[in-house]
Amino acid sequence: MPLPTCGIAFATANAALAMTVKITQLDEMKDERIVLKIEGKLLGEDAALLERSYDNLETNEGVEIDMAGITFIDSNSASVIRRLERKGAMLSGVDFFIRTVIETYENGNTQEEFMTEIKGKYDEKFQKVREIFEYSLDCGDDIGASFAVFIDGEPVIDIWGGYFDGTFTREWERDTIATTHSTTKTMTAMAALVAADRGLIDLNERVAKYWPEFAQNGKENILVRHLLGHTSGLAGWTEDVTWEDVYDLYKSCDLLAKQAPWWEPGTASGYHGITQGHLVSGVIQRVTGKTLGQFFADEIAGPLGADYHIGLDPKDLHRAAPFIQAIPEGGLTGNKMLDRVAMNPNLNPVNSSTDAFRMAEVGAANGQGNARSVATIHSALVTDKVNGVTLLSPEGRKRVLEEQSNGIDLLMEIPIRWGMGFALESPLFPENYGHNIAYWGGNGGSLGYADLDEKMTISFVMNRWIEGMHEYGRYQRLVKAVYECLGYSTNKNVFVVAAPQ
C-alpha cells in the first residue's frame, strides 16, 4: 500500500539546528520498519553539528542516517525523535506527521483515511479547488488554514481544515482566526475608501489639512493618497522604536509627524511595511474621533458581520491561532531602507503571535481574521450589497483602481503598480485575464484578492510561516484553480507552484 508523497518544512526548536526537509518517499516496509527518505539542506555549520549527533545514533537501534539523503529507518519513529531530542534536535511538527503516517500505515488504513478532513461548503464546480486546498494540508505545506471565494457577495467556497497550532491536537475551527499580516493593509485601505466615499476625507487633499502637526520636515505637501500608495516617503520610523512604542498610537504617530521623509514624496513607492496603518489612522482619528481600528469595527466589519479585527478584543484571544515557523529568519538584505523597516522593530512569527500584538492597532500588519471575513469585506469592492449592506457607491468602489505609482518599489525591489492601498499589477499575479484586479497578501502567505470584473473575491488565511515575505506559492495555485473552474485558460506558466496531478 503506497503512502502519500508530499513536502513538509519545519524548524528545530534550537535555531542553530534549523533545517528544511522534504519527505519524498514513504513507500517501503523492511522487516516491519518504515523507510522515510528525506531530502534536506542543513544551514552552514549546523550540518557538521547534526552529523556528529547522528554519528552517535547506531543503526542497530533502528536508525539509519545517510547525510546525502538523510534516511530514517525505524519501526517506532517516536524512539528516533526521543534520541534526536537528547542530541538537541527537536523536530516539532514533523514528529507528529511521521508518527501519524506510520501509525496509519501499520493500522492498515488507506491513504484516503489519512487525508485531512475539510469542513465547510463549496459549489461542486469548484471541486478541484477543494482538492488542492486539501493537498496543501495533507502534504504539510499548510497546518491549519481557511479559504474562501465569494461571487457577487455570496460564498461559493467557504472551507477550512487542519490544526490550530503546532501541537496538532486542536483542530482549526469555523471561527478560528489568525494574524493576516500585510493583508491588513487592504483593510486599512477599505477604511480610507469608505471615509472618502462619505465625504469625511479627500484622498487628494494634503494630510496636514486633517493632521496639522504633520506639516513639518518637508511633509507639508504629502497627500492622503500618498499614504495609500506607499509613496509618502515614510516607510519606517527614523527614531529607534520597540513594539511597545508601536502599540502606543499617540507616541508612534507623533514620531511619524515629526520626522522627515526618506525620499521625495510622490516620486516612487517604498513599501510602508508597518507605518501605513498608523499614518492612515492619524488622519481618520482627527476627522472622526475614532482610531483606525475603531472606525473599521464600527463602519465596516460590524455592519458586514465580518469576523475581522484591527485590535483584537481580549475575549477573542482564545480563537487566534499562533504561527508555526518553518525556517529561521533571513539576515539583512543590504537595502538600507528595507533593513531599517524590517528591524525597527523586527516583525517575526513569534512576536506576531503574542497577545500584546493581537490586541494592539497595527493597521499595516496585525489584522485578525479568517478567509471568510476577508472575502466578505472585499466583496464591498465588487458588488452593491454585502449581507444586505451597501458600503461603497459604484464610484467609491472604482477608486481602488486609481494608479498611485508604477515602477520598482524602493524597498521590495520588484515592479509594482499600486492603486489605493491595493496592488494592481505585480509579479505575484502576472496573469490578470484582462480584468481589473486589486489584491495584496501578508507574511506567511495570507491573501486578499478582488476581481472587479468577475465580481469575485478570494481569500486565504493560514498559520504556516515557511519563508515569510513574498510567500505566494500556496495561494497562487488556489487562485489558478478557481479561474480554471470558472472556465478560464491558465496555460501561461505564471504560477510558481505546480498543482498536484
Local confidence pLDDT in tens for the 501 residues of the chain = 333 333 333 333 332 223 333 333 333 333 333 333 333 333 333 334 334 333 433 333 333 333 333 333 333 334 434 333 333 333 333 334 444 444 444 444 444 444 689 999 999 999 999 999 998 888 778 999 999 999 999 999 999 999 999 888 899 999 999 999 999 999 999 999 999 999 999 999 999 999 999 999 999 999 999 999 999 999 999 999 999 999 999 999 999 999 999 999 999 999 999 999 999 999 999 999 999 999 999 999 999 999 999 999 999 999 999 998 877 777 788 999 999 999 999 999 889 999 999 999 999 999 999 999 999 999 999 999 999 999 999 999 999 999 999 999 999 999 999 999 999 999 888 788 889 999 999 999 999 999 999 999 999 999 998 776 667 888 999 999 999 999 998 754 333 322 222
Q: Is 194 helix (H, G, I), strand (E, B) or coil?
A: helix
Q: What is the pLDDT of residues 90-124, one digit of tens each?
A: 333 333 444 444 444 444 444 444 468 999 999 99
DSSP output for 183-219? GHHHHHHHHHHHHHHTTS--TTSBHHHH-GGG--TT-
Q: Which amino acid is at 79?
A: S
Cα angle at 90 between 84 and 93, to 5 degrees?
Answer: 120
Q: What are 296's three cell numbers?
A: 473599521
- For domain 181-485, give the CATH number: 3.40.710.10
CA-to-CA distance for 461 and 37, rounded, in angstroms?
31
Instruction: Give residue for cell 520636515.
Output: 217
Condensed to tens digits (0 to 9), the pLDDT of residues 254-282 reads 999 999 999 999 999 999 999 999 999 99
Domain boundaries, the chain: 15-112, 181-485
For the CA atoms of 17, 23, 28, 32, the dihedral, rounded to the nearest 10 degrees, stands at: 40
Instruction: Dihedral sign for Cα 476, 477, 483, 488, please.
Output: positive
CB 445 within 8 A of CB 464: yes
C-alpha span between 261 and 449 (Å, rounded): 30
pLDDT of residue 265: 98
Question: Distance (Å, rounded) from C-alpha 472 to C-alpha 449?
Answer: 12
Q: Give the model's pLDDT for residue 428.
A: 82
The reported pLDDT for the residue numbered 412 is: 93
CA 442/CA 133 separation, integer angstroms: 18
What would the grid cell of residue 407 be?
A: 515602477
Residues 6+ apart with CB under 8 A from 297: 309, 310, 311
CA angle 294, 297, 300 (to 5 degrees): 125
Closest by CA to 280, choosing from 396, 196, 358, is 196
